[in-house]
Structure formats: structure tokens, C-alpha cells
Amino acid sequence: MTQRPPDLIVVPAVMQQRLRLLGFDTQSMLRRAGLPADLFASGKARITTRQMFAVWDALAAMNPDPALGLRIGAEGATEHYDIASIAALHSPNFGEALQRLSRFKRLTCPEVIRIERGDGEVRVRFHWFLAEGHSPPLLTDGTFASVLELARRGTGTRVVPRRVELVRAHTSAQAAMLGAHFGCAPRFGAAADVIVFDEALLAQPFVTHNQDLLAVLLPGLEAALAAQAPATSLVDQARAVLGRTLRGERPSIQAVAAELCVSTRTLQRRLEEAGTSYQRLLDEVRHQAARQLLEDTQLEAGEIAFVLGFEELNSFTRAFRGWEGTTPARWRMAQAVPERP
């Protein structure tokens, strides 16, 4: 199984400068977050996901302005962009911008940008997979505002999302503020924080496209990714993604490919070259997970079937019989029988 990247986030000097321009006393902010006041003294600080969330909570506590996250995400000058955002802004279109943002974001933090297409829309979700719980609302506002600003600056038009789905509870003030900024009424109480665009926007050309700049930037970024990446195969990485996304639905190959930042066709080809297929890999992960859940938990077979993404218990029972030659219930009972000395 692929190794997770270290829980380490680089806070670039431009971000620190941005906070100072907004009038923050960064030393007071760091102390409030439970961090050393001189953390930013070296210019390039490194903190964990928990500490990052604490910083954003401290920002919210120090400045009660409900629009602060939107200001941080949308009002920054391009010279204050991080390297991933610079590569995204100068991409040919919004779709490639999102892909580059997703790919190179991994150089600075343990965050995955999930891009899901379907039903004429594209759903963009920022997932901090080493986090305990959801990201702070202020951070979510800033992140969504920065993505929208990327689309607006890149296309040169006032892009309006289809909708914004938020985990937080509804408040009238938040609804009015966010609705005014995004141009659509936010939906509160969602299962995850998601910003949704028209799928057609992905092909919208960027007026900021600069191929010469990309030719300079991309080789260095790709080299940095290669140096950072663990020595594991794409098959192992796909297996790891499947293992952590089996949560009540069957993960699609398109979703797995998107998380690995490769095309669906590339993933299929690489799996074939390794002598396997997406379905076979999914079966392996389901088989291993089924054995673990039957042996280590008290979940009923029907509940396990749901967790593993089977549509019904009979489908799970047939699959398990193919794996083990018996039913889930009988297999569980056999594991409970003590071995003879």
C-alpha cells in the first residue's frame, strides 16, 4: 500500500506577507494558535495539518469580519500566488488549471483536490486526508474564493458557480455574504464542502495562458514531484485510494484516476501492463476489507456489503463465496473456532 505523505505543510513567505498586509500581528496569531511566536522568522515555516487548522481558527478569533476568508482567497495579487496557483493561472483553460492545481498542490501540503464530472457539472472538493474533522469555515471560504478567482482571472469573465455546498450550519448573515460573493445561494448542512461549476467551463480558454512560462515552470515542478513521490507503483497507489474510499459506494475508475492525477485511459493501460484490471483490483481490496471487517468487527453481513459498495447483500454473498468458497457468516464462525493445541 502506498505511503501517505508526511503531515507537513509549507507556509510560503508570500502567505505570511499577505497576512501582514491584511493587518495581522502574525506573532500574536501564532501564540493564539499554540505555536512559537517566531515560527515565521525564517521566512519558510513548516507546520502540521492540526496546526494549520489552529492558525485559521486563530485568524477567525482575531478578526470577526465574516468575509475575511473571502478576502484572503480573492483579493490577493498574482505575485502572492503559490507556485501551484501560478502554474494553474497560466494554463490553457480552466480544466487544465484545476488539474495542475491538484497535481502540484501536493508539493506544499497533504491535500487532495477531488474533481468529479457528471450530469453537466464539475464538483471540486478540497480534502485534507490527514485532518481530524472538517476544515475551518474560514479556510473553506478562502479556498473556494481562490478557486473562483482563478476561474474569473483566467477567463476574464465573472464566472458564477452552479452552487456552493457547505458543512456548516445556516446563518442569515453567512448566507447573504456568501451569496453576494459567489453569485449563488449557498447550501448549508451538506455532507462535504464542495464548489460546483458548469462542466462546459472546463474547456473555457484562459486569457492568462502563457506557454513560455509553463515551459520554464513545469519541468522543475515535475522533478520536485518525482523527488517527493514514494517508490511505489501506480497499481499500489490505486489500491490505496480504493482502500480509503470504500465508504458505502463503489468508487469509479474515473474518481480513482482523478485522485492519482492521471487520465482514466492511462490508469487502465498501466493496470493492464501490470497484469491486472480495475475490476480485479477492486475485488482484491473488497476481499481484504471484507475479511478484516468480518473478523475484527461485529457488523452484520448486510452492513459490510453496504460499506464495500455492494448494491445488495446477495451480491456481496456471491462475491464472498467466490473468494473464500463459503458464505460470510460461515467464514466468520470458522475464524471464531479456537485452534487445537
Quick one: 199 and 242 in the same domain?
Answer: no
Dist. CA 154–CA 333, nearest whole Å: 60
Q: Hey, what's the torsion of the CAs at 154, 158, 160, 166, to 10 degrees? A: 70
The confidence score (pLDDT) of residue 338 equals: 55
Is residue 102 a part of any domain in this protein? yes
Higher pLDDT, 257 or 101: 101
Q: pTM value?
A: 0.67
244 falls in which pLDDT band (50, 70, 90)? confident
Quick one: 125 and 245 in the same domain?
Answer: no
Quick one: 198 and 239 in the same domain?
Answer: no
Q: What percent of the chain has pLDDT over 70?
A: 91
Is residue 2 a part of any domain in this protein? no
Is residue 19 a part of any domain in this protein? no
- How many structural domains is the chain composed of? 2
Phi, psi of 164, deg, nearest 5? -130, 120
82 pLDDT exceeds 70? yes
Instruction: Specify which residues 195 forms β-bridges with.
Output: 124, 164
Q: pLDDT for 201-227, tens place per residue?
A: 999 999 999 999 999 889 888 888 777
Quick one: 87 and 190 in the same domain?
Answer: yes
**Which domain-ending residue is among 203, 222, 245?**
203
The confidence score (pLDDT) of residue 43 equals: 61
Alpha-carbon distances, residue 229 vs 85, 103, 203, 222 (angstroms):
20, 12, 30, 10
Dist. CA 80–CA 71, nearest whole Å: 13
The confidence score (pLDDT) of residue 3 equals: 42
Quick one: 124 and 187 in the same domain?
Answer: yes
Domain that holds residue 83: 65-203
**Which domain-ending residue is among 151, 185, 203?**
203
Least confident of 174-188, 190-204, 243-257: 243-257
Q: If you search the block for the grid coordinates 477531488, which residue do you land on?
A: 114
Quick one: 254 and 197 in the same domain?
Answer: no
2 pLDDT exceeds 50? no
Quick one: 104 and 199 in the same domain?
Answer: yes
Quick one: 243 and 341 in the same domain?
Answer: yes
Q: Give the chain's mean pLDDT.
A: 86
Quick one: 180 and 112 in the same domain?
Answer: yes
Is residue 186 a part of any domain in this protein? yes
The confidence score (pLDDT) of residue 7 equals: 67
307 alpha-carbon distance from chain centroid: 21
Name which of 262, 260, 226, 229 is nearest 245 in CA terms: 260
Quick one: 253 and 189 in the same domain?
Answer: no
Quick one: 163 and 104 in the same domain?
Answer: yes
Dist. CA 95–CA 203, nearest whole Å: 6
**Which domain-ending residue is among 159, 187, 203?**
203
Is residue 69 a part of any domain in this protein? yes
Quick one: 311 and 198 in the same domain?
Answer: no
* All residues at 6 or more sequence positions from 225 whose CB lies less than 8 Å from its CB, including other chains: 103, 104, 106, 107
Q: If you search the block for the grid coordinates 492545481, which residue do you land on?
A: 101
230 falls in which pLDDT band (50, 70, 90)? low
Residue 247 belongs to a domain with what CATH number?
A: 1.10.10.60
61 alpha-carbon distance from chain centroid: 26
Alpha-carbon distances, residue 111 vs 16, 104, 305 (angstroms):
20, 10, 29
Cell of 265: 485511459
What's the one-letter identity of residue 229? A
How much is the average pLDDT of 104-114?
Answer: 82
Is residue 8 a part of any domain in this protein? no
Q: pLDDT for 302-324, tens place per residue?
A: 989 888 888 889 999 999 999 99
H or E segment at 164? strand 163-165
Is residue 171 a part of any domain in this protein? yes
Is residue 80 a part of any domain in this protein? yes
